[in-house]
Structure 1
Amino acid sequence: MFKVEKRYRVGNVTCQSCVALIEKILKSTNGIEEARVNLATEELVVKFDEKVIKEDEVKNKIVPLGYSLDEIKDLKTVTFIIKGLHCQSCVGTVEKIVSGMKGIESIAVNLATEKATVSYDSTIVKLSEIFHMIGKFGYTGERITEEVVDRRAEEKKLELKKEFNEFLVAIIFGAIIFYISMGSMIGLPVPNVIHYDVNPLLFAMVQLILSIPVVYVGRDFYISGFKKLKSKAPSMDSLIALGTGAAFVYSIYGTFKIYEGDIQFVHNLYYESGVVIIALISLGKYLENVSKGKTSEAIKKLMGLQSKRANLFRDGKVVTVDIEEVEVGDVLLIKPGESIPTDGVVVDGISSVDEAMLTGESIPVKKIEGSKVYGATINGTGSLKVKVTETGENTTLSRIIRLVENAQGSKAPIARMADIISSYFVPIVIGIAIISSLIWYIVGSLGLVSLNATPSVFALTILISVLVIACPCSLGLATPTAIMVGTGRGAELGILIKSGEALEKTCKVDTVVFDKTGTITVGKPTVTNILSNRLEENVLLKVVGSLEQNSEHPLADAVIREVNLRKLDMFSVRSFNSITGEGVTGTLEDTPVGDVEVIVGNKKIMDRYSINIDEHIKEGEELFDQGKTVIYIAAKDTYLGMIAIADKVRESSKSVIEELKNIGIDVIMLTGDNERTAKAIAKEVGVTRVIAEVSPEQKYSQIKKLQIAGKKVAMVGDGINDSPALTQADIGIAVGGGADIALESADIVLMSKNIKDVPKAIELSRATMKNIKQNLFWAFIYNGLGIPVAAGILYPFTGHLLNPMIAGAAMAMSSVSVVSNALRLKWFK
C-alpha cells in the first residue's frame, strides 16, 4: 500500500563501479526493495516503502557521495480554454488553486488568450480533476480541439454581439434614468408627473423600474462577483457587484423611505450612478474584447493560408481532393498562381515560389527538381509536380502556428510582478473602500469635516467610487497582449520567438556571437580560383574531380559541384587513398597519357611525396589571406597547379554587423575554421574579435566565459553543430527555416536563413518590452492615483469628490487603452 517506484536522472555516473556502488548502498538500506541504475541512460529506478523510508532519505544516501539526483516525472503538458476569466485577479485565483493541487508541476494562465498551460504528473492528478477544481470557483475548463476552437470562435462572435446589445440596453435605459434624476437640476424640462418636487414617489419608482433591465444586463457581474466573494477569491466582478450593488440597495432603501413619507431621500438616490456605471463598463468590456481579438490576428492570418483542396495524381489522372485525403508519398500538381497545399519536394517542373508568408522575404525563390517547397507558399508562373513529404500537423506552417501559439500563451518574467500585485489587489481594494467610507462617515458625523452631503451618502459615494475605479484588468492585460502582438508580428516577418521569456531576454542582449559557416558565410564552399601550371583549366579540374569524387570532405563537394556545373566527364580511379589532415592520392586510368598517379591536398602531402612547390607558395599564401582554402595538385613528382575554394560571405553580413554595432551590440565571430581564414572573413565583414579553431564543445565554453564576464550573449548558428553553444547562450538564434523551425536548442528561429533578421529580432524585442513597460506604468499610475482620489484624498482641498460614473468610465477605458497601445506593435518594421 505504501510502496512507490520513482525514477531519477543520476549525474556524475562515469563507470560501472559507480553503478555498483549506488545499487549496493540503496539495496542495503532498510525500506528499499529494489534499486537499478542504467549507465547508458543515467537513470535510477528505486522501489521503496514510504512507511519505512521517505524520499528525502533515499536521496541523502546518494547525493553526499558526489552524485546528483533529479526526479524524472511523467509530466503531461496541456493547454486548455478557460471560460469566466475577467481580470488579472481571476488569473491569479486559477493559478493559485491549480498550483496548490498535488501533482501539478506548473501552470500559466493567459488573460488575453483565455488559455491555461499546465504541466502535471498524470499518475497523480487528472485533467478532469483540474477542471473540477476550477469549476468550484466559477470557471470552466475545456480541452482544445478543432471542434472546440471553431465553437469558441463562434461563441466569441455571439458574445461580442450580445455585449454590444447589452450595452445599448444599458445606455438607453441609463440615459433615461439620468435625464429623469438630473435633468431638472441642469435646467432640462422634466414632466411634472415624475418631477422630484411634485411627485417624489413616482420619481423614485420610475427609476427603480427602469433600472431593472440594466441590472439584468449586468447580471453576470453579480453572479460571478458574489460567487467569487463567497469562494474567498474576489475579482473585478466582485468590485463592480459590490459598488453598483451598494448603490442599488441604498436607492431601494431610499425609495422605501420616500414611500413612508421621508421625501428628503429624494436627493439621496443612486439609480443613475449604478446604471451608468454598468453601461460604461459594458462598453469598455465590449471594446476590450474587440481589441483583444485583434491581438491574435497573426495566428488567424497564418491559419487562413492553409489550403483546403489539392490537385492529386491518381491512376494517371489529376483529381481535386480535400486536403485531408492527401498522404505522404502522393504527387500533387501545383498550377501557376496556386497555393502549395503541403510540404514536399519538386519531382518535375521549374517555377518561382513566393515564400514571404513564411520567411518575410519578398523575392520569390526559384524551384527546380529536388527543391523543397512548403505548404501555403504561392507558386509563380510555372507548373510543378510535388511529392508530399509532410501533411497535417507536421507541415512547416502548422509547426509555425504551434510555436507562435505557445509563445503567445507563455509568460515573460516581467509579468510576475503584475501577478503578485494582482493576487493581493482586490482584497486590499475592498478593505480600502470599507475603511475610507467608514472614516468619512465618522468624521462627517462628528462634524470634524464639512461634507457636501449627509455622512451616509458621502460615505456611500466613497465606497462605490473606490470599488468601481480599482479594476486590475489593465494590469493583467499589460504583458500578454504585447507578447501576443509582438510574437505575432515576428512570425509575419519570419522571426519565430518561442516564448515570452525569450522575448524579454533578447532585449537585454549586449553581445552577439556568430558562427562563421552557414551564418556569416553561405555555408556552401565553392571553387573560386583555378591556377594551372601545365594543363588547361578544365582538364586540371577534371583531374582533381575524378579523385575527389571518392572523398567525403566538404572541399571535395565544392570541386564536384564545379565539375558538374561545367559538365565534365571524369576519369576512372584505382588505388584511392585518403590521408587525414593532408589530402588524397590515387591513380587515374585511361588518360591521354596513360595511367597517372595523382596527389591532391595541402603542403604537408606535397612534402610527404617530395614535391617542390616553393615557387608557388607565395601565390597560395595570397589566396589564404583572402580567406580561401588552397589545394595543390601534382602528378608523380610534377606540380600541376592549385585550386582555391572558399565559402562565400553572405551579401548582407557586413551591413548586418554594422547595424548591430550601431544599436550598441558587440559582435564576435566563433568558428572551428583555421585562424587565418577566419580573420580574413572577419576583416571582410567588419568583425574585430575572432575566436577560431574551436570545436562545438569549446564553443559552449567560450559562450560561458563571456557570460562569466557579465555579458548577455546571443549565439547565432545554423542549429546543427552549434547546439551546445545555442543552449548555453542567454538567447540562441538559429538561422534555420523549413524542417529546422522546431530546433530545441534555439530560442529564436530565423525562417529566412539569413542573418539580416538578427538585429530585427533584437529591435522587435526592445519595442515589445518598451510597450509592456508603458502598459505597466499606465496601469500602475491609473490605480495608484485613481484609488486615493476616489477615496476622497483631494476633498479637503478642492471640496469635490470623484463621481462614481466618472470612475466607471475611467475603469472601462483603462483596459482599452492598454490593449490599443499593444496593437501599435503590429506596425513594427
Structure 2
Amino acid sequence: MIERTSTPATIAESPTNTIVLDVTGMKCAGCVSAVEKHLLNQAGVESACVNLLTGVAAISTAATTVTASELAAKLTASGFPAQPRTVAESNDRAIRLQQRQDKYAQESKQLVWQLITAGVLLVLSAVGHFTQPTTHLHHGSAVLTNFWWHWGLATLAIAFPGRAILVDGWRSLWHGNPNMNTLVGLGIITSYTASVVALLLPGLGWECFFEEPVMIIGFITLGRTLEQQAKHRAATAFDRLLSLQPTVARLVSANPDRPQAIEIPVEQVKVGEYLRVLPGEKIPADGAIRWGQTTIDESLITGESIPLVKQAGDLVIAGTVNQSGAISIEVTRTGDDTTLSQIIALVEAAQTRKAPVQKLADTVAGYFTYGVLAIAILTGLFWYFIGIHNPNLMPPVSTLAPLKAAIAVMVVACPCALGLATPTAILVGTGIGAEAGLLIKGGDVLEAVQQLDTVVFDKTGTLTEGKPQVTDIFSPDTMSATELLRQAAAAESVTNHPLAVAIQQEAARLELTLPSVLEAHTEAGLGVSAKLLTNNGENQVIVGNQPWLAARGIEIGEDLQAVADKLTLTGKTVMYVAIAPATDLELTNLTIGLIGVTDRLRSDAIETVKQLQELGLRVVLLTGDKKPVAKLIAAELGITDIYSEVLPQDKARIVKSLQTHPLAHSFEDRQIESSKSPIQHRVAMVGDGINDAPALAQADLGIALNAGTDVAIDVADIILMRDRLLDVVYAIELSQATLTKIRQNLFWAAIYNIIGIPAAAGVLYWCGWGTMLSPSAAGALMALSSVSVVTNSLLLKLNHRRN
C-alpha cells in the first residue's frame, strides 16, 4: 500500500498573458531566430515561440505590461510585418480559412508566373550558352549567342522573377537580419555585376557569365514553387478541420409541435436554444438530441470511420455530419467552447510548441547567414591569393574563379531547410493525428514520447469501460436486499463516482423510489455518509470501502467478511453499507450489508497492453481495488507491475516515484530503493478522470481519453478523441515517427550544408576531385534541399492508422 502523506502546496505563479501575432516576411530559420530575439528583447516578454511554416508567433508576457499592438508595431518596424490575432478572428475561423486559401491562391499564381518567366529566360540563356560557350561570345553573329542578348535576359530575370528575392534580401540586410534571400540576392547581383564589367571592359580578360543569375533565379523559383505546393499539402489536414466549422444554424422552438425555423449565423447561437439539423447538414454546435433519430459521421473529429446511430438523449459534436434523419438538438456548447473549436485551438497551439531538438537548430540558424558570408569572403580571398596561383590544378583556374566560388558558397547555403525541418513534420504529424482522433499538443510532446520507458494505466474508466454493474447484494435478515439497495442508492446520489453510479442505475432499473437526502459528506477514494428521511424516520447511511467504515469504528462480522472475501477473489469490488437510526450516535444498532460491483475490461485493453510491451515499454496498473482484485485484473491483462488500494491523492506521488526509482510495489520497497542512486525513468500516465489530473500533470507524458473530464484533458499532452484504448499505441507510434522525421530533416539539412558549402568553396577541386561548383549548380542544390525536407515530412502520411 502507498503511504498517505499530505499533498504539496501549489506554488503561486505570477499572472501571464498570451499574445498571438500573425507574422509575414519570414523566409528561413534565421528569420525565426531574429523574430524571437527581437520579441524577447521587448520589456515584459517572458517567452516567444515562432513557427516559420504557419507564420504565427505565440508570446507569453507579464500581465498588462505590453500589448499585442505594441509588439506587432515593433516587429513591423524591424522588417517583419505583423498584426495581432484578434478575438473576433479567432472566433470566426471560417474567415481565417478563406484568407489562408486566398493567400495561397495568390502566392501560387505569382509563383507560377515567375516560374514561367524564369523558365523561358533560362531556356533561352542555356541554348545560347551551350551553343557557343566561349569567352568571345559577344563577337558572334547569332542573336542567341550574343552577350548583349544574354545581358538582356539576365536583366529581365532580375527585374521580374528575381525582384522579390532581391527586395526581401536587401530589406532583411538593412534591418540587420540577413536571411536566405540576402545570400542568394548577393550571389545574383555579384555575378550580374561582374558580367556587366566584363562586357563593358573586355580588356580585363574576364569572362561573362550572365547565364548564372538567370539559372540561379530559375532553379530557386522552381524549388520554391514545389516547396509551396508541398507545404500546402502538409497543411491540408488542418485546413479540413477549419472547413468543418458550419456558418449557419436553423433555430427552432423548444416545442416539437412548432417546426418553424429561422436561419441565423452560427456565432449567434446561445446555450439552451434548440436547432433543427436536416440530413446532409453539419451539426452547428455541441448539443444533445431531443427529438429524432439519425446516424452521425464523426470521422473527421474522432477518427471513427463507421457512422454512429444517435437518438434522443445522445450527444452530438459541432462539425460532424448528420447523415440520415432530421433531428432537433438542445445546444450545450457554442463558439470556442465546442469540441471542434477546442480541437482546432489545440492543433494550432501544437504548431507553435517546438521540440527541444529544434531550439538548437534555430540558435544555429540565427548565426548561419553571418557565418556563410564570412566563409564566402574567406573563400574568395583564398582562391585569389593562393588558388589561382597553383599550377597543379587541372583544369587551370580562371581569374574569376575566386568570385564564382564566393558566389557559389552564398547561393548553396540553405538556412531554409533548417527552418522547415521541424514545423513541416509537426504540421503533418499533428494533422494526421487529428484526422485519426489523436490530439498531440506540440513538438516537445514528441520528444517526451521518444524517451518513454514506462506506461502507467489508471484502471477504472481507462482499462475498464468505466460502467460498473451491480452483481450481488447481501443484507442481514433484518432488512431486505431491495431496501438496502434503496438507501445505499439514495446516499450515493450525491456523487458521480462510477461505483456510485452503478448502484444508482441498479435502483433505477428496479424502479425503486429513493428516500430524501437531508445531508451528506463524501471522501474521495473512501465513500459517502448521509442522513436520509425514510418511511421509518431518519437514518444514518454509510457506504464505502472497509477503511471508510473502520474510521467510524464499524467492525465487519466474520460471516459478512467471508462473503466479501469470496466476491473479491472473483474480481468484484465490494461496497459496504452500514445503516443506523439517526438518533443512534454511537452506531450501536447497525444493519450492515454489502454490494458487489464489477467493471468489465475494454475490448481492446489486453491487445493494447500486449502491443505496448512489444514496443519495449513497462506497463503499470494503478487501482483503488484491493490486492486480490488487482491481481486478477492484472493477470488477465498480462501486467506484472501493480499498485493496489491507491487513493486518488497518491496517484501523482506514485508516478513521481516511478520517475526516479525502479518499480516498487510497496512503500517499504521504495524506502529500500531510495537509498540507491536515483534512476531517471520517463513515465507516461493514461487516465480519464478528475482524480487523474495531478498524475497526468506529473508524468513526462499525459494521455487522456476524451470521455474523461475537461480538467484531465487540459493537463494531458495527448488526447484520444475516439475513446479507444488501442489509440494509445498509435499515438506513441505516430509521435515516434514524427520525431524521426524531424531528426531526418535536421540531419539532411545539416549534412547538406556541411557537404555543400565546402564543395561550393572548391575544397573537392583543390583536393583533385572534380571541378569547381558553378553558382547555377549551387542554386539548384539549394532549391533541392528545401523541397526534399518538406517532401520527407509528407512521407509521414504513409504511417497508416491501426484498425
Matched, 1:425 2:373: no
Q: Retained in 2: the 8 A contact 1:658–1:686? A: yes
The one-letter amino acid of 2:129's match is S
Q: Residue by residue, what CA displacement relative to the aligned partner does 1:641-660 show, whole Å, maximum 9, x if unpaired?
A: 96521122212111111111
Matched, 1:373 2:316: yes
Where do residues 532-547 of structure 1 align in structure 2 (5 Å cutoff)? 542-547=482-487
> In 1, Cα distance between the equivalents of 2:528 and 2:148?
102
Aligned position for 2:639: 687
For residue 331 of structure 2, the aligned residue among 388, 397, 402 is 388
Q: Retained in 2: the 8 A contact 1:350–1:369? A: yes
What's the CA shift for 1:513?
Answer: 0.8
Aligned position for 2:726: 756
Q: Residue by residue, what CA displacement relative to the aligned partner does 1:110-150 show, whole Å, maximum 9, x if unpaired?
A: 11112211222464433333333333442211223546664
> In 1, Cα distance between the equivalents of 2:68 and 2:540?
72
What's the CA shift for 1:245?
Answer: 1.0
What's the CA shift for 1:327?
Answer: 1.9
What's the CA shift for 1:336?
Answer: 3.8
> In 2, Cα distance between the equivalents of 1:438 and 1:788?
15
> In 1, Cα distance between the equivalents of 2:51 and 2:625?
46
Q: Which moved more, 1:626-635 or 1:642-651?
A: 626-635
> Identity percentage over the alignment?
38
What's the CA shift for 1:621?
Answer: 2.7
Matched, 1:474 2:417: yes
Q: Residue by residue, what CA displacement relative to the aligned partner does 1:76-134 show, whole Å, maximum 9, x if unpaired?
A: 31222211111111111111222122222111111111221122246443333333333
Q: Retained in 1: the 8 A contact 2:489–2:514? A: no
The one-letter amino acid of 2:24's match is K
Length-normalised TM-score, structure 1: 0.82
Aligned position for 2:288: 345
What's the CA shift for 1:583?
Answer: 8.6
For residue 220 of structure 2, the aligned residue among 281, 289, 308 is 281
Matched, 1:665 2:635: no
Q: Which moved more, 1:383-392 or 1:351-360?
A: 351-360
Matched, 1:644 2:596: yes
Where do residues 514-663 of structure 1 align in structure 2 (5 Å cutoff)? 514-529=457-472, 542-552=482-492, 554=497, 555-566=499-510, 568-570=511-513, 614=559, 620-630=564-574, 643-663=595-615
Matched, 1:730 2:674: no
Tell which has more relative contact order, 1 or 2 (C-alpha 8 A, sep 6+). Answer: 2
Q: Retained in 1: the 8 A contact 2:491–2:543? A: no
Q: Which moved more, 1:358-367 or 1:165-174?
A: 358-367
What's the CA shift for 1:390?
Answer: 1.5
For residue 781 of structure 2, the aligned residue among 810, 815, 820 is 810
Q: Retained in 1: the 8 A contact 2:686–2:703? A: yes
For residue 247 of structure 1, the aligned residue among 191, 194, 197 is 191
What's the secondary structure of 1:172's corresponding residue? helix
Gap change, CA 1:521 and 1:731, over 3 Å in 2: same
What's the CA shift for 1:302?
Answer: 0.8
Aligned position for 1:704: 656
For residue 181 of structure 1, the aligned residue among 91, 110, 129 is 129
Q: Retained in 2: the 8 A contact 1:574–1:588? A: no
Q: Retained in 1: the 8 A contact 2:455–2:617? A: yes
What's the secondary structure of 1:648's corresponding residue? coil
What's the CA shift for 1:195?
Answer: 6.5
What's the CA shift for 1:161?
Answer: 0.9
What's the CA shift for 1:164?
Answer: 1.3
Where do residues 6-405 of structure 1 align in structure 2 (5 Å cutoff)? 72-73=14-15, 75-121=16-62, 123-144=64-85, 146=89, 150-185=98-133, 196-198=139-141, 203-216=146-159, 217-258=161-202, 262=203, 264-265=205-206, 268-314=207-253, 316=258, 317-405=260-348
Gap change, CA 1:603 and 1:762, over 3 Å in 2: closer
What's the secondary structure of 1:524's corresponding residue? coil
What's the CA shift for 1:597?
Answer: 13
Q: Residue by residue, what CA displacement relative to the aligned partner does 1:518-576 show, whole Å, maximum 9, x if unpaired?
A: 111222221134679999xxx9653333222321265453233123335x444879999
What's the CA shift for 1:741?
Answer: 8.0
Q: Retained in 2: the 8 A contact 1:656–1:759? A: yes
Gap change, CA 1:230 and 1:549, over 3 Å in 2: closer
> In 2, Cα distance between the equivalents of 1:177 and 1:318?
67
Q: Retained in 2: the 8 A contact 1:355–1:362? A: yes
Q: Retained in 1: the 8 A contact 2:515–2:534? A: yes
What's the CA shift for 1:382?
Answer: 4.1
Aligned position for 1:9: none
What's the secondary structure of 1:361's corresponding residue? coil
The one-letter amino acid of 1:704's match is K
> In 1, Cα distance between the equivalents of 2:78 and 2:521?
73
> In 2, Cα distance between the equivalents of 1:298 and 1:577?
50
Q: Which moved more, 1:811-820 or 1:199-208?
A: 199-208
The one-letter amino acid of 1:502's match is V
What's the CA shift for 1:162?
Answer: 0.5
Aligned position for 2:715: 745
The one-letter amino acid of 2:427's match is M
Where do residues 775-790 of structure 1 align in structure 2 (5 Å cutoff)? 775-790=745-760
> In 2, Cα distance between the equivalents of 1:611 and 1:437?
92
What's the CA shift for 1:363?
Answer: 3.9
Q: Residue by residue, what CA displacement relative to the aligned partner does 1:344-376 show, whole Å, maximum 9, x if unpaired?
A: 122233444332222222344443443322111
Aligned position for 1:65: none
What's the secondary structure of 1:755's corresponding residue? coil
Q: Retained in 2: the 8 A contact 1:542–1:570? A: no
The one-letter amino acid of 1:308's match is T
> In 1, Cα distance between the equivalents of 2:443 and 2:576?
52
Q: How many residues align?
A: 745
The one-letter amino acid of 2:381's match is L
> In 1, Cα distance between the equivalents of 2:143 and 2:554?
118
What's the secondary structure of 2:328's corresponding residue? strand
Gap change, CA 1:313 and 1:742, over 3 Å in 2: farther
> In 1, Cα distance between the equivalents of 2:167 and 2:605?
60
Matched, 1:825 2:796: yes
Aligned position for 1:795: 765
Q: Retained in 2: the 8 A contact 1:589–1:596? A: no
Gap change, CA 1:623 and 1:230, over 3 Å in 2: same
Specify every segment of 5 or more residues in structure 2 that has no aligned partner in the other structure, as ranges.
Answer: 1-5, 90-94, 581-588, 662-679
What's the CA shift for 1:197?
Answer: 4.3
Gap change, CA 1:600 and 1:668, over 3 Å in 2: closer
> In 1, Cα distance between the equivalents of 2:601 and 2:733?
24
> In 2, Cα distance between the equivalents of 1:432 and 1:635?
86
> In 2, Cα distance between the equivalents of 1:612 and 1:743?
43
> In 2, Cα distance between the equivalents of 1:730 and 1:643?
38
What's the CA shift for 1:331?
Answer: 0.6
Matched, 1:678 2:678: no
What's the secondary structure of 1:687's corresponding residue? coil
Length-normalised TM-score, structure 2: 0.84
For residue 486 of structure 1, the aligned residue among 414, 429, 432 is 429
Aligned position for 1:47: none
Q: Retained in 2: the 8 A contact 1:330–1:387? A: yes
> In 2, Cα distance between the equivalents of 1:229 and 1:610?
82
The one-letter amino acid of 1:343's match is D
The one-letter amino acid of 1:427's match is Y
Q: Retained in 1: the 8 A contact 2:685–2:702? A: yes
The structure whose Rg is larger is 1
- Indicate the RMSD between aligned Cα atoms, in angstroms: 3.7
